[in-house]
Structure 1
Amino acid sequence: MPSTRRNAGFEPDILVIEDTPTLRLIYEQYLASMGLTVATAETAAAGMQIFAEYAPPVVILDLLLPDRDGLEMLRDMLRMRPGAAIIVVTADRSVDRAVTAMRSGAQDFLVKPVAETRLASVVQNARRAVAMAQPDHHGPQAGALAGFIGTSAKMTRVYDMIRSTARSMAPVFITGESGTGKELCAEAIHALSPRAAEKFVVLDGSSLSTDRFDSEVFGHLRGAVSGATADMPGALQRADGGTLFLDKIDELDLGLQAKLLRFLHSTSFRPLGATEPRKADIRLITSTTRPAHAAIEGGHLRNDLFYRLCVVPIQMPPLRERPEDIGPIAETLLRKFAAIENRAFTRISPQAHAILQAQDWPGNIRQLTNVLRSITVLHDAPELVSAMLPSDLSVLASPGRGPQSAPTGNPSFAGQTLAQIERAVIEDALHRHDGSVSQTARELDLAPSTLYRKIDHWKKTDVP
């Protein structure tokens, strides 16, 4: 029977379903100290009775109950009330069941023994998620999300995935070719989540070498490493309470992936030089440019880590699979760069539009961005016409999709590759910002680490 006494008008903020009396009491007392009205139940049957009768917005559900399978009960609860935030509790040896529960729609999970700080954080996040999902919560509900351009069917599905995923704590695994907007997708999930007021921290897996990983991810104390004159918080500490986006997870050394897996298991880490471990409450979003199965089979991604990360998969479509979005994207970029470069561009001619839409765009939005930026640097007119387009665009068109004849081209582009145009645009921006990589990266919408790698590559490959 339920252990909670209920009076008329009883409206619990949270329901705890736990068959161990001592744990049930500990949860109840701690949650009550947070100012919450708590209902408790010791069996699945009693819990379902309270859930159906009183509709608590948040539920803490032990997956190992004596009278019913917890995963089955979770699914039934979400069928009854899809908006409920259900936090599952599992023993250390059954974390895989918690991952399955997250895939089934659980808000978050706790591993026994549960730390009070972790319990408080998870419950607060769940309550915020429920509040954000209420009909009177003002937020984007349809159409493209902030930062995105395009209304194609494939992007509409991505928007729907972002909205449905944002309120959860489940790890998200984003795949897509380079330049498809994986970081923008991660930012959108964070912006719509209960963690939106906290930090969104980005790490590039390809730039995390073995000797820098611990400092960059876990942080270090003063004197712990050579040249450490002050404490430096790592990415986990900076993202505490918020979201950590780890891009190119498949380019991270396999040994370092094992360290990340240990953190995901315990949610604790030890900064270099620290004597005691610390906890971090983060929502982890990861991405790869390789298909997941190819990354695993090629030895770039640990299978056990992938299983923990890929609770919610999102596939970002390449630009060639949504050609109807190319025109609106190009027009938006043209107006943006015209304002930056003080140019008169306001529109794209029909012929130029057709040529742009006919391309495969192997570099996706990043490549389209570079082309539009280079045009606004080198030309000035009210209308972008086909003669301003790089002459090699027609070479990139798929058979049967390209224009009937190559654009006439502009002499300033003759013989230049997109890589050469990209370098010219980057060097021009660096010059205007007096060599500041951070300001240049912000203007060009690139990661600073990407600019550093390109500059380093140019220095190594330039002939003296």
Structure 2
Amino acid sequence: MTKSISLPRLLLVEDSQSTAMVYATYLEHLFDVTVVYTGTDAIDALHRHRFQLAVMDVQLPDISGLEVLKTLRERDQQLPVVIITAHSTVEVAVDAMRLGANDFLTKPFDKTRLQHTLQQVLKTVQLSSLVETYEKTFDRSHFYNMVGASLPMQAVYRIIESAASSKATVFITGESGTGKELCAEALHRESPRSKKPFIALNCAAIPLELMESEIFGHIKGAFSGASQNREGAAQRAHGGTLFLDEIGEMPLSLQSKLLRFIQLGTFQAVGSNQEVTVDVRFVCATNRDPLTEVRAGRFREDLFYRLNVIPVHMPPLRERGQDILRIANAFLRLFNEDEGKSFQSISRGVEERLMSYRWPGNVRELANVLRNMVVLNQGRQIETGHLPDFFQQQEKAPAPRAATIPEVVPAITAATAPVAVEAPVLPLWLEEKRIIERAINHYHGNIPKAAAMLDISASTIYRKKQFWAAQDAEQVPG
């Protein structure tokens, strides 16, 4: 009983009972062996049971082992198979590998050869499976319509996968053009609601007086011009996902109604006193700092905490390294097809310019630059001369500072410092700590904003904070 649970299951297909018994004895300490003597029994066993490995002789009394392999591969491409033959010919080997065999053995062979071959095949298959899992989880260059293999984007993908099955609200933050709507759409497509509607509403593009009607709908006569009943986004998203982009543009009066809708799952259309119940998953996004908006009184605190159950931050393009080139090449292929052009690649010079640019407009700006070059030029390769004028002018201009951080140390003047005093030399990590902490304080604890101003990634700040805590702990007397 214990053996069948702890050892991998192996199907041994051998027409000679005595030979099968010898092989089974060789393998009994490594595998849970099931023995069959015909090709028909082998196919039946493969249908009824799950095996981790199969070993089969070519010469069987009813059908060839290669025929069994062919039948198996029509429904199972993963099960590793080792073929045994008494006639070592090139034709048999080629046929076996073509049909999907992982390896083959030629009779006669000893116990060690059999054990080693099977263990190596199983180990190789397990390693390949592990690599595929690793690549899917940690090293993806695409996730639905999002392109990117950088560490910040891998973190976004993992949050989406973890949160997709839940109904919890998701709050996406990030600069304009970072792909917040693509993130919301990926969350919907990864979720059990993927077959239901994904309704996206950009609050910044809707006049304030029409925003409530766009979200909750209205009945005929509710206001001037309401000539018939109209469903809002909330009702159209029933069973699916409602994405409210730029939610910071929503007036406070409507924020209270949205909060009630999220809490109860019910709403009233404009002009109606009838409650409507729907089942929707809420995803919201903003390019502003939501906590700053709360402190300024422009965003309800209770709504923010109700929405911010699962926060997702879309990193700016300048923090995504080689993703810039991955996305540029993806746009090149797309715009080539749209415009009927024949560009095949981006020159090294252009790549260097793209990588050194700050991309204040993020992915949206990168898309505009690539479309401009494809539309206005011809050739097989994108060259530096194809770069748009505005891009080159902005690139030459000094990058604007996000803000000026006031110095916490008073300035020394001739009146206050008649004698020159040399500042003490501190360890580099302490100077770095002082600068980073000043930036964090300036942005009221917002580490992503402080990191953007300092031109480093937020993960770098978090890592350094752990190092500082360890340094402080060492200095505390025991």
Question: Given the two structures, how large is their TM-score scaled by the length of structure 2?
Answer: 0.53
Identity %: 43
Q: Contact (CA 8 Å) 1:179, 1:366: kept in 2 or not?
A: yes
- Match for residue 177 of structure 2? 179
Q: Which residue does the alignment assign to 1:349?
A: 347
Distance 1:298 1:285 in 2: 23
How many Å apart are 1:292 and its aligned residue?
Answer: 2.1
Describe the shift of the 1:341–1:193 C-alpha distance in structure 2 as closer, same or farther (beyond 3 A). Answer: same
User: What is the rounded CA distance, in whole Å, between the counterparts of 2:285 and 2:320 in structure 1?
Assistant: 21
Match in the other structure for 1:166: 164
1:24 alignment counterpart = none
The corresponding residue for 1:234 is 232
CA contact (8 A) 1:240 1:281 kept: yes
Match of 2:221 among 200, 210, 223: 223
Structure 1 pair 353/210, CA: closer, same or farther in 2 (3 Å)? closer
Q: Deviations over 1:207-248 (max 9, x none)?
A: 344421332111112233323332210111001111000011
Distance 1:209 1:400, change over 3 A: closer
Contact 2:139 2:154 in 1 (8 A): no
- Do structure 1's residue 323 and structure 2's residue 334 form an aligned pair? no
Matched, 1:388 2:386: yes
* Aligned with residue 286 of structure 2, among 271, 285, 288: 288
User: 1:350 is aligned with what amino acid?
Assistant: R
SS in 2 for 1:343: coil
CA separation in 2, counterparts of 1:375 and 1:209?
35
- Aligned 8 A contact 2:372 2:388 in 1: no
Give the Å deviation of 1:400.
Answer: 11
Counterpart in 2 of 1:67? Answer: none
Q: Distance in 2 between matches of 1:223 and 1:263?
A: 23
Residue 399 of structure 1 and its aligned partner are, at CA, apart by: 9.6
* Structure with bigger gyration radius: 2
Superposed, 1:183-332 pairs within 5 Å as 183-332=181-330
Partner residue in 2 for 1:144: 142
Q: Take 1:398 and 1:316, find their aligned partners in 2: how far apart are those partners?
A: 27
Quote how far apart the aligned CAs of 1:394 are: 4.3
Runs of 5+ consecutive residues of structure 1 not aligned to the other structure: 1-134, 402-464
Taking the aligned partners of 1:280 and 1:141, their CA distance within structure 2 comes to 38
Among 336, 339, 347, the alignment partner of 2:334 is 336
Deviates more, 1:377-386 or 1:263-272: 263-272
Match of 2:221, SS state, is coil
Letter in 2 for 1:258: S
Shift of 1:397: 4.4
Does the C-alpha gap of structure 1 residues 195 and 141 become closer, same or farther in structure 2, counting only changes over 3 Å?
farther
C-alpha displacement of 1:383:
0.4
Contact 1:144 1:156 in 2 (8 A): no
Spell out the pairing of 1:15-54 with structure 2 (5 A cutoff).
Answer: none
SS of the equivalent of 2:274 reads: coil
Q: Deviations over 1:47-78 (max 9, x none)?
A: xxxxxxxxxxxxxxxxxxxxxxxxxxxxxxxx
Q: Following the alignment from structure 2 to structure 1, what is the Cα–Cα distance between the partners of residues 245 and 141?
A: 26
Report how far residue 365 of structure 1 moved: 0.4
Q: Please give the alpha-carbon distance, in whole angstroms, between the structure 2 residues aligned to 1:212 and 1:205.
A: 10
Q: Does the Cα contact within 8 Å between 1:345 and 1:381 map onto a contact in 2?
A: yes
Aligned residues: 265
Residues in 1 aligned to 2:141 and 2:158: alpha-carbon distance in whole angstroms: 9
Q: Structure 1 pair 179/304, CA: closer, same or farther in 2 (3 Å)?
A: same
Output the CA distance in 1 between the equivalents of 2:140 and 2:356.
29
Query: Residue 361 of structure 1 contacts residue 396 of structure 1 at CA under 8 Å; is this kept in 2?
Result: no
Q: What is the rounded CA distance, in whole Å, between the counterparts of 1:302 and 1:328 in structure 2?
A: 39
CA drift at 1:142 = 5.5
Paired residue type of 2:259: L
- Counterpart CA distance in 2 for 1:298 and 1:382 is 52
Partners of 2:255 and 2:226 lie apart in 1 by: 25
